[in-house]
């Protein structure tokens, strides 16, 4: 008989909740920890937010996108299940619009503080400031990566404005740092930061409650987007992401993971393994696609064989370049530019 503690051993994840709370209602997931969902106007139609009882007030984790329906849900929840306790603190896991969009609005409405990692606040300021000027630079970046005329015309119509989702970045915040311990509602929550999906993504682990608020860093059924953008074309976020996975390996096997999308789950270790294996497979496909010199667009068409809409093209190309950059940094691929400035990758 094995003396090992029971573990998931790569098996399916376990989901203790069959479904998320209906919009405007909350579901308790642990003593003092409540689950709230916000609508998103995308194929990924929701984000999970977490409401933590914190003394006589609340600490809330993430905000939802700056849309009318999200504001309506907040109004209903603040006047309903959250009534009677003031919101003292808004903690934001990372700068993406669905997590951060309503930060300024909530601070104004609730008089709460904003807590986030300094690098996440800094990138939000840069991206918001760059919003108007980034279009031409992004198109040039796509052209350099071999995007054909038809798809360039499509991406030319794509605005993907950060400002639409995040109208305002609050100028004041309390900086969170890795391994910092926050006392929330009588429990210690340890900050574990991770990179790859965003620069310094905050996750929160509570040993006593056996919970990990994982944001987008670790998701149960999808892998978070890991992309390279025109603003930092040489970035290697896949490496950062894979390194970051190790930071969660030693958490107890029974940890209930509270992700920003999908359902809470146990089975952190097998999920980390599955995600690492996914990227290893992707890297292999990308390397094989460059046996003969190929542009990033050529590799994109191998990785994603279905027809992509314009939003998917933008994100999938960024993801493809991220994997190419990883292999270039490792010396597995070499990059060259032709007279027109178009970049090609070849196996070394």
Q: Give the nearest distance from C-beta 332 to Zn ion in angstroms.
A: 28
Beta strand 113-117 with 174-176: parallel, antiparallel or unpaired? parallel
Q: Give the nearest distance from C-beta 95 to Zn ion in angstroms.
A: 8
User: What is the per-residue binding string for Zn ion in 190-219, x denoting contact by CB under 5 A?
Assistant: --------------------------x---
User: For residue 313, which of 195, 150, 201 has the smallest C-alpha distance?
Assistant: 150
Total chain residues near Zn ion (CB under 5 A): 2
Q: What is the 3-state secondary structure (H, E, C) of the chain?
A: CCCCCCCCCCCCCECCCCCCCCCCCEEEEECCEEEEEEECCCCCCEEEEEEEEECCEEEEECCCCCCHHHHHHHHHHHHCCCCCCCEEEEECCCCCHHHHCCHHHHHHHHCCEEEEEHHHHHHHHHHHHHCCCHHHHHHHHHHHCCCCHHHHHHHHCCCCCHHHHCCCCCCCCEEECCCCEEEECCEEEEEEEECCCCCCEEEEEECCCCEEEEECCCCCCCCCCCCCCCCCCCCCHHHHHHHHHHHHCCCCCCCEEEECCCCCEECHHHHHHHHHHHHHHHHHHHHHHCCCCECHHHHHHHHCCCCCCHHHHHHHHHHHHHHHHHHHHCCCEEEEECCCCCEEEEEC
Question: Which is nearer to Zn ion, 104 or 202 (by Cβ)?
Answer: 202
Stretch that binds Zn ion, among 96-104, 169-177, 228-236, 313-321 (CB under 5 A): 96-104
* Sign, Cα dihedral of 80, 86, 91, 92: positive
Q: Give the nearest distance from C-beta 120 to Zn ion in angstroms.
A: 10
Question: Which is nearer to Zn ion, 81 or 264 (by Cβ)?
Answer: 264
Q: Give the nearest distance from C-beta 303 to Zn ion in angstroms.
A: 21
Which residues within the stretch 46-85 sit at the binding site for Zn ion (CB under 5 A)? Answer: none
Question: Which is nearer to Zn ion, 216 or 319 (by Cβ)?
Answer: 216
Please say whether the beta carbons of 73 and 106 come within 8 A: no
Q: Give the nearest distance from C-beta 304 to Zn ion in angstroms.
A: 20
Question: Which is nearer to Zn ion, 216 or 236 (by Cβ)?
Answer: 216
Question: Which is nearer to Zn ion, 66 or 209 (by Cβ)?
Answer: 66
Please say whether the beta carbons of 151 and 313 come within 8 A: yes
Please say whether the beta carbons of 49 and 61 come within 8 A: yes
Q: Give the nearest distance from C-beta 183 to Zn ion in angstroms.
A: 27
Kind plus residue range of the DSSP H or E element containing 140:
helix 134-144
Q: Give the nearest distance from C-beta 115 to Zn ion in angstroms.
A: 17
Stretch that binds Zn ion, among 3-11, 89-97, 144-152, 291-299 (CB under 5 A): 89-97
The answer to the question of residue 96 lying near Zn ion (CB under 5 A) is yes
Q: Give the nearest distance from C-beta 224 to Zn ion in angstroms.
A: 6
The answer to the question of residue 261 lying near Zn ion (CB under 5 A) is no
Question: Which is nearer to Zn ion, 105 or 241 (by Cβ)?
Answer: 241
Question: Which is nearer to Zn ion, 162 or 345 (by Cβ)?
Answer: 162
Question: Which is nearer to Zn ion, 127 or 287 (by Cβ)?
Answer: 127
Question: Which is nearer to Zn ion, 53 or 216 (by Cβ)?
Answer: 216
Q: Give the nearest distance from C-beta 145 to Zn ion in angstroms.
A: 23
Two tokens at 101? Answer: 């969009």
Stretch that binds Zn ion, among 47-55, 88-96, 165-173, 251-259 (CB under 5 A): 88-96
User: What is the per-residue binding string for Zn ion in 158-197, x denoting contact by CB under 5 A?
Assistant: ----------------------------------------
Q: What residues make contact with Zn ion under the rule CB under 5 A?
A: 96, 216
């Amino acid at each position: 008989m094995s003396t090992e503690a029971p573990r998931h051993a790569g098996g399916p994840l376990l989901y203790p909740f069959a479904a998320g709370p209906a919009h405007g209602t909350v579901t308790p997931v642990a003593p003092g920890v409540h689950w709230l969902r916000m609508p998103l106007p995308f194929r990924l139609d929701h984000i999970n937010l977490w409401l933590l009882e914190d003394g006589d007030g609340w600490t809330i984790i993430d905000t939802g996108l700056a849309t009318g329906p999200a504001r309506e849900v907040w109004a209903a929840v603040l006047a309903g299940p959250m009534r009677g306790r003031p919101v003292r603190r808004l903690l934001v896991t990372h700068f993406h619009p669905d997590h951060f969009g309503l930060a300024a609005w909530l601070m104004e409405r609730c008089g709460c503080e904003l807590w986030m990692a300094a690098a996440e606040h800094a990138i939000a300021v840069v991206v918001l400031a760059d919003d108007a000027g980034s279009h031409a630079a992004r198109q040039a970046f796509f052209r350099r990566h071999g995007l054909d005329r038809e798809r360039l015309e499509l991406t030319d119509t794509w605005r993907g404005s950060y400002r639409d989702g995040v109208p305002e970045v609050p100028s004041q915040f309390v900086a969170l740092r890795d391994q910092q311990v926050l006392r929330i509602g009588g429990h210690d929550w340890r900050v574990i930061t991770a990179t790859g999906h965003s620069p310094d993504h905050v996750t929160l682990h509570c040993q006593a409650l056996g919970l990990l608020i994982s944001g987008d860093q670790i998701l149960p059924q999808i892998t978070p987007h890991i992309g390279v953008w025109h603003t930092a074309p040489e970035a290697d976020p896949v490496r950062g992401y894979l390194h970051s996975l190790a930071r969660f390996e030693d958490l107890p096997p029974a940890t209930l993971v509270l992700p920003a999308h999908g359902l809470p789950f146990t089975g952190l270790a097998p999920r980390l393994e599955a995600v690492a294996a996914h990227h290893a497979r992707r890297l292999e496909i990308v390397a094989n696609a460059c046996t003969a010199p190929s542009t990033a667009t050529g590799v994109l068409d191998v990785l994603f064989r279905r027809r992509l809409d314009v939003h998917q093209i933008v994100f999938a190309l960024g993801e493809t370049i991220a994997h190419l950059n990883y292999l270039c940094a490792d010396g597995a691929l070499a990059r060259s530019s032709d007279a027109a400035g178009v970049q090609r990758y070849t196996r070394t």
